[in-house]
Structure 1
């Protein structure tokens, strides 16, 4: 056995026990969160300490178009050094041979972290917390739809066919019968997750037709972002085995709820191991309120990261299980910022604004960045909201941008947020997303043809 294989995570070592490793997938997440990289024979991986990939992978839009974000040096497609993080080694159990996946970190030729690489952006934010003596803890919730195969973009997306032979039904939240409809797909999700060493905290049926939610155990932000990154591929592969698609679009089906990636946050004092959000007597601390104040003050600037596509804003619809405001409240799912029921040791803040279509590294980084700014600036939150925030006529209730163009305008001017996420990342991200938005504006939709062609 090669030296590098003696230090594999337990789940990867167990997966390969008494088996011959054939291939290693060397991967990294680009701005949308797509896995980029190379698949190499195991024997070659054992001989290399790194491999190279052009930095241009971070300048592409979701359609593959190149944006003009290369900077003063111009578009040279300079190579980055991609160095494996062997703690991320995990199985690819859907492949036909014995394959491992390994997430890599992007370094420049001087060995410094590439500032626009999403994993590096999250590491930067986490380090800012650690420099203050805080250990951030997150727990993401992943919502997604299982839908019928769709190979024609002109056709509406439809729910998948359940094992009963009927299409998945909507408005069956928390129904175990509805979950049973997807039993074979869920079985494969569990099997793949177990092979990869991931702990699922639970799977539930959500309110949409064919919509499910997977909760992950709380932990280190980078580790949890890695898991969400892996999970998206895992779930897609499980769905394909059963003649359906898994989609993480924020709003794939009209008149159905959208899919979120709710992010739960807490902080641990690195000296005492105590929850920073709770005082010794169990009451909420100043830090707890400042974190919420930071979310309220800075989330509008970060929405372009949490809701990165034009489709993302179709999710923000009143009474469709998605927040349309920045109010906060205890155990209140109509507010954008929710404080779940917990004991003092488990006190946490849930950001309900992020869509499942966001890059998990960037979504978690942006949410943590807003909370961090609140802590540093000692931001005080608004008064706790009580009641149904959807029906509020309170003019002071803060709202969020409702279209990508407005969100990008806010992001481009958000110098405080840029200082936490990194100036170079903010520059490149803004240009790439603006290019993407302009691409969308060149497309004429069926609605426009139907209602404007002969009527205006």
Structure 2
């Protein structure tokens, strides 16, 4: 179905939103009457390049060359291949049209995170390879109506369960109305939501999205899912948050990525026929490990992110890999050898999915191209071992990202510069906020 056909099939839609993801994963765009939507489909829309490089408050970056130095010039934003979809969290029938940014001459804008992922996927295609990705998204349901955050009261019982509910069917049933609406909305938006579980945090849940051999679509799904969950929760009278760690005493939320790589015949190049995986798997693991320290800023992009990355709280802190080992940053799950894959466990729920997949897949391909070999896989508790560590705080991660050599192998220079400027500005101003103000900032934004 063409985009024009979609609009004709949904005459009830009176307005549309056109939106692109900025570096923080925030949706930036416009509201347009539906009768003018075909103009956007045909010609695109325009807004400044700097809009994809705003800080977490939506403010210009003070020393960005995109603003005054370049006259705050416009980019041209065109629809992605995703096309129109409903926005089930809004009261009025409304459609969302995802867009991405190009220069006036039609070339992709390198500061657009979706184009960063596209460039990585193109490198795979040039080698006759196709990455297959799936993501697991954790989030908290939160009653933020009072002075302190707490788990929402169950719509069924009116009670609050102030305890961890790991894999609890009761916790899922308590919010069955919300999850039923969520899965219906995913169906309407063509987001492949699969299993949902109750997690270890207070009011924490996880939803897995099905694997896709289109990495751009997998990132789209994750970005749209985060938008949907947050919007739909508000319709149900509470908040949903993907912030890395809203409660100091509970584990935080991750966004784990599983990926394998297919060759031109459709065969998994990580499959060795046995449990250990192939040489290509080891090379990809090595690439991920070698880039992990410098790319941590993408996996942990906010001040709150580093409150999750602490020992013994179900988030990795050591740069290591292992088979069936969830204390390691890279886990190789067991199972059918034909489905052998890598699980990358560093990212928090607060990431930009486009940048996350660009960093993971780009690092893995660098390892494959160079035939890099990883250290020996660990066994046992990674927290108790003397291993290389990811940056311990936000400022160290910004420094590592800015001065990295390896990241230029798979991320555009302009994007690296823009992200560093963004994070240095945020680092400066967040230092002025109280812990309560920081939680309030991140609760709805990330």
**TM-score, length basis structure 1:** 0.90
User: What are the residue-to-residue correspondences of 1:265-344 with 2, within 5 Å?
Assistant: 265-269=259-263, 271-279=264-272, 284-344=277-337
Whole-Å separation in 2 of the counterparts to 1:95 and 1:66: 28
Question: Alignment partner for residue 203 of structure 1, among 172, 196, 208?
Answer: 196
Q: Which moved more, 1:209-218 or 1:34-43?
A: 34-43
Match of 1:375 in 2: 368
Checking the alignment, whether the CA contact within 8 Å between 1:251 and 1:314 is kept in structure 2 is yes
Q: Equivalents in 1 of 2:67, 2:183: separation in Å?
A: 47
CA contact (8 A) 1:158 1:253 kept: no
1:143 to 138, 143, 146: 138
Are 2:250 and 1:250 equivalent residues in the alignment? no
- CA contact under 8 A between 2:196 and 2:205: conserved in structure 1? yes
Once the two structures are superposed, what CA deviation does each residue of 1:149-171 show, in whole Å capped at 9, x if it has no partner?
247xxx44222222322223332
Q: CA–CA distance in 2 between the matches of 1:340 and 1:26?
A: 39
Deviates more, 1:103-112 or 1:78-87: 78-87
Shift in CA distance, 373/23, structure 1 to aligned 2, threshold 3 Å: same
Task: Pick the aligned partner of 2:402 from 408, 412, 432.
Answer: 412
1:158 has 2:150 as partner: yes
- Bigger shift: 274-283 or 259-268? 274-283
Structure 2 residue 366 is the aligned partner of structure 1 residue 401: no
Q: Which residue in the other structure is 1:453 paired with?
A: none
Give the Cα separation in 1 of the matches to 2:194 and 2:183.
11
RMSD over aligned Cα atoms: 2.1
Q: Supply the distance in 2 between the matched residues of 1:24 and 1:86 (Cα, whole angstroms).
A: 16
Cα deviation, residue 410, structure 1: 0.7
**More displaced 10-residue stretch of structure 1: 66-75 or 320-329:** 66-75
Corresponding position of 1:64: 58
Q: Assess if the C-alpha contact under 8 Å between 1:169 and 1:208 holds in 2.
A: no
Matched, 1:25 2:17: yes
Q: Distance in 2 between matches of 1:368 and 1:3?
A: 31
Return the offset for 1:432. 1.0
Unpaired segments ≥5 residues, structure 1:
448-456
Which stretch of structure 1 is more off in the superposition, 74-83 or 256-265?
Answer: 74-83
Quick check: 89-98 or 255-264, which moved more? 89-98
- Asked whether the 8 Å contact 2:164–2:203 carries over to 1, the reply is no
Alpha-carbon distance in structure 1 between the residues aligned to 2:142 and 2:173: 15
Q: How far 1:107 moved relative to its partner? A: 0.4
Q: Is structure 2 residue 210 aligned with structure 1 residue 217? A: yes
Where do 1:104-119 residues align within 5 Å?
104-119=99-114
Q: Distance in 2 between matches of 1:168 and 1:63?
A: 33
Q: Is the 8 A contact 1:156 1:253 kept in 2?
A: no
**More off after superposition, 140-149 vs 48-57:** 48-57
CA distance in structure 2 between the aligned counterparts of 1:73 and 1:268, rounded to whole angstroms: 45
Distance in 1 of aligned mates of 2:331 and 2:33: 47
| 1:176-201 C-alpha deviation (Å, 9 max, x unpaired) | 01111111211211121111122211
TM-score (norm 2): 0.92
What secondary structure, in the 3-state scheme, does the structure 2 residue paired with 1:159 have?
Answer: coil
Residue pair 2:25, 2:223 contacting (<8 A) in 1 also: yes
Give distance in 2, aligned partners of 1:356 and 1:374: 26
